[in-house]
Structure 1
Amino acid sequence: MSTEKKAVIKNSIFAAVFFAVFFGIFEAIIFGIGYAAISAPIAGIFFGLLMYFFVNSKRVKAQTALNNSNESDIIHSGGANHFKNAEALGGKLYLLPDRLEFKSHRFNIQNHAFSIGINEIKKIAFYKTLGIVPNGLEVVLKDGEVEKFVVNNRNLWKENIEKLISKSL
């Protein structure tokens, strides 16, 4: 099983548990603990399955596919969120020999494709999403701009990007 597939399963389970806990608290307050004990796990499983099937849908894969690059050019890729204004746009992040490219799916309020040349990157850093989840990748550009992504295996992303930066110097 590929690391990307494992990450999708792990994230779906995390989403299911997260949703079940918060839904359970809400249900317990409104309807009581007995009702919440039954409905929250069922809702969590349902939500996790929906997330899994959404991420693996043919439509999302087609919307986030790169059109102008060969598969052999892709060094690393995976599901990601890119922060644009106040929205975390869902899509896919690609690392190519000359650039880092993000392509959102159409289920976001804002949609965009975004590309950063490797020669534009000053440094790669980590951050914690919501101050607690260690899955943030911060791309600091030479012009001072900062682009933030939520990714799986951020250590691998950082390592691969830094290799390309050192090659381009």
Structure 2
Amino acid sequence: MKLLIELLTGDLQPEYKTTESEIYAGEANLFRSGISIGGKLFLTSERLIFLPHKFNFNKKIEYIELSEVNVFQSITSLNILNNTLAFTLENGTELIFIVNNIEIWMEEIERAKKVVDLI
């Protein structure tokens, strides 16, 4: 299974701004309009970037400026799994991602957001 995930997401690389650097990345699913979209989530010093893998019908890339994130939290899915990141943006948009290593994601996002909020 891990090999299949690597085949689907291993070649996904975002285009970074010259002012940003990658902090953390991993496989993720984004829930959009009730549909789970597989791909890879990248945390940079300025943004979250979600790249859907090539086998999805919906291939829209999501760029989320950390400065636009009002609330982010870890929530439990199916009342047993702590693997869900929920974001609420300034414009009211809500985004839900399923990720591995939720504790690392939460720590790194919190750290990066503090830096962005100071600027």
TM-score, normalised with respect to structure 1: 0.62
Unaligned ranges ≥5, structure 2: none
Q: 2:114 matched to which residue of 1?
A: 166
Q: Quote the sequence identity (%).
A: 28
What's the C-alpha RMSD, in Å, of the aligned pairs? Answer: 1.9
Map of 2:9 onto structure 1: 60
Q: Give the structure with higher Rg (CA).
A: 1
Which of residues 55, 75, 82 is equivalent to 1:127? Answer: 75
Extract unaligned runs of 5+ from structure 1: 1-50
Q: Whole-Å Cα distance in 2 between the matches of residues 135 and 60 of structure 1?
A: 19
Cα shift at 1:131: 3.3
**Structure that is richer in strand per residue:** 2
Q: Runs ≥4 in structure 1, deviation > 6 angstroms?
A: none
Determine the C-alpha separation between the residues in 2 that align with 1:123 and 1:106: 30
1:97 aligns with 2:45: yes
Q: Which has the higher contact order (CA 8 A, sep 6+)?
A: 2
Residue 145 (structure 1) aligns with:
93
Which of the pair is proportionally richer in helix? Answer: 1
Alignment length, in residue pairs?
116
Task: Work out the CA distance in 2 between the residues paired with 1:152 and 1:60.
Answer: 14
Hey, what's the Cα distance between the residues in 1 that align with 2:70 and 2:97?
16
